[in-house]
Amino acid sequence: MVLFEKETLLPPPRAAAVRSRWRSVGTLVRNAIVLAVILKTSFAFYQRWTAGEDSSASVVKCPQVGPLVPGQESPALSKMEDYFQSDKFRNETIKRLAGAIRIPTQSYDDLGPVGEDSRWDTMYDLADYLKSTFPLVHSTLALEKVNTHGLLYTWKGTDASLRPTVLMAHQDVVPVAEATIDQWTHPPYSGYFDGKYIWGRGSADCKNNLIGILEAIELLVGAGFEPKRTIILSFGFDEEISGRQGAGHLSGVLIDRYGKDGAAVIIDEGGGMADSWGSTFALPGVAEKGYIDVEIIVRMPGGHSSIPPTHSGIGVASELVTLIEAHPYEPHFHAENPLLGLLECGNAYSPEFPSSLKKHLPWKEPSCPAKKDKLALEAAKQGDEVKYLFTTSLAVDVISGGVKNNALPERTRVLVNHRVNIGDKVSEVQAKLVHLAHRVAAKHNLTVQAFNDESEIPSSIKLNSVQSLEPAPVTPTSVDGVTPFGVLSGTTRALYGESILIGPALMTGNTDTRYYWDLTRHIFRYDPGYDPEVGFSLGGIHTVNEKLSVVAHTAGVQWYSLFIRNMDEADLA
């Protein structure tokens, strides 16, 4: 997402230059010095980039760790790092991603059970493709197939006391509507490469992550890397339809195997890089809003349309919809909302941070609730894409009723989707809807049936929760000592340069990580690939012309390889 006004991008140094800075040391003595510094600073997690010599309280609110580069080197690993910069790697990874895109692993809302509905069978084709494309992965890592199509790879580490690193992606994609195919610049399942972009459904959501993770593992195996910390790859196959069959089963296997808080960290798809306030931010999602779909059913007497009542069932349902939309949720910052941390980052480091927001920072919880509310109201003026990062949303998405033009509707159905603000609860949304429903019901002499299992009755308004999920637990973002967030931050700044700022972000939607909350507190929804010439782009996700910059893709592969190595060396359990 682009937060607030879009600014000119400040291109970070190339990865080769960063690597040269750390590896072109010339002598064994200097190598020893560098290694000693790394060890002394515990992988640079105690370093703080202070934007010059600014030691103000606002800077302390958003500490930045130094670049984190793996200490373990070998000729084979050095050769691998050089390979990342080669045309050969670029061409081969394009080919691998394109091949995955050509397999249309579409998830449909009406899919039947796994093993019964033949539309699942494209997953077999993708699994076969991955096996033939990444032979070292499949000869080195243990592969388990969970609920037929869930792919669970385990690269067992040499130190069983270390909790594993978990990398995630999903195999499925959003279907391409037949009516839109002619709108694509290149066919949606072609994997076409035009010299800059790889085109096709799944190129940015998220076969790029799937292939990027496997590519990184394949190269690490080939370079002789042997992990101390177990590495787990968990690939669901129905994320686009809520993930119950894939991640819902995979997570259960992992929690049973490793226990509550049994993993060190999870990286799944999510936020990337964005430009704002004159700075470039990496924005790993450390939280997700909750959601609840509420079905409203209005039952009214039928009859002939020639003798209508003052209000039909559709009219009453419309009145309730109008009342719901007339009472939107107010912007509100709870202390745990990670956007507060991002605002502190902008205030601390960004030259064009708005003065209208600056005057409300720093915010000291919990002593200044009035200041917090003023900050929320001011930030909400930046637009809906910002406001809904700290506001519960509501959207009336479906309405149906009536069967004939001369018959009064006896049953009218409305579906209202809510994305629940961080710090709020699903029950608060339910309570508000019940209150509004009672207002309409009293006016029309109807009974309210609210969120229970009772059968519908005549002359009633019934509220049902179709599906719901509380807001996700917020991932810790401390960088005091050695932390997973510190490893992510240091890896990102090592690859892209110290001009990149790391700020906590949140997801307005939900990923497969909704099923993994018990496996670890350290869940990051993060797309690490970045192309400074393109900047932030949704890349046509869920619509026509989905595409991905090859520069972003190759950088993502390199990021995964660095992160795996950095986690392996990090001094955390």
Active-site entry in 7, 172, 215, 424 = 172
- C-alpha 464/C-alpha 455 separation (Å) is 11
The number of residues in the chain equals 573
117 is in an annotated binding site: no
DSSP string, 81-118: HHHTTSHHHHHHHHHHHHHHHTS--B--TT---TTTSG
- C-alpha 328/C-alpha 394 separation (Å) is 7
533: left (phi > 0), else alpha (psi -120 to 50), else beta?
alpha
- C-alpha 488/C-alpha 385 separation (Å) is 25
240 is in an annotated binding site: yes
Question: Which tokens sit at 130?
Answer: 């991955």
- Cα-based distances in Å from 516 to 248, 268, 366, 484: 8, 11, 30, 16
484: left (phi > 0), else alpha (psi -120 to 50), else beta?
alpha
C-alpha R_g of the chain: 26
For the question of residue 117 being annotated catalytic, the response is no
- Cα-based distances in Å from 98 to 93, 180, 431: 8, 21, 49
- C-alpha 355/C-alpha 4 separation (Å) is 13
Residue 455 DSSP code: P
CB atoms near residue 222 (< 10 Å):
16
Task: Specify the 3-state DSSP secondary structure of 472.
Answer: coil
Q: What is the four-CA torsion angle of 226, 160, 243, 555, rounded to 10 degrees?
A: -30
Question: Which tokens sit at 88?
Answer: 């050969």
Task: Specify the 3-state DSSP secondary structure of 381.
Answer: coil
Q: What angle do CA 380, 386, 389 make, to 5 degrees?
A: 100
Question: Which tokens sit at 293?
Answer: 């779909």
- 202 Cβ contact list (under 8 Å, min separation 6): 100, 101, 105, 173, 208, 546
Q: Which of 468, 470, 492 is nearest to 479 (CA)?
A: 492
Active-site entry in 215, 218, 238, 239 = 239
Which residue carries 């037949």 as its tokens?
178
Q: What is the largest CA-CA distance in the chain?
A: 96
For the question of residue 172 being annotated catalytic, the response is yes
Phi and psi for 400 in degrees, rounded to 5?
-155, 150
Alpha helices in 276-417, H assignment, sequence order: 313-325, 338-349, 355-358, 369-380, 384-387
Q: Which of 421, 419, 416 is nearest to 433 (CA)?
A: 416
186 is in an annotated binding site: no
CB atoms near residue 511 (< 10 Å):
25
Q: Which residues are annotated as catalytic?
A: 172, 239
Binding residues for Zn(2+), by number, are 170, 205, 240, 268, 542
Binding residues, by number, are 170, 205, 240, 268, 542
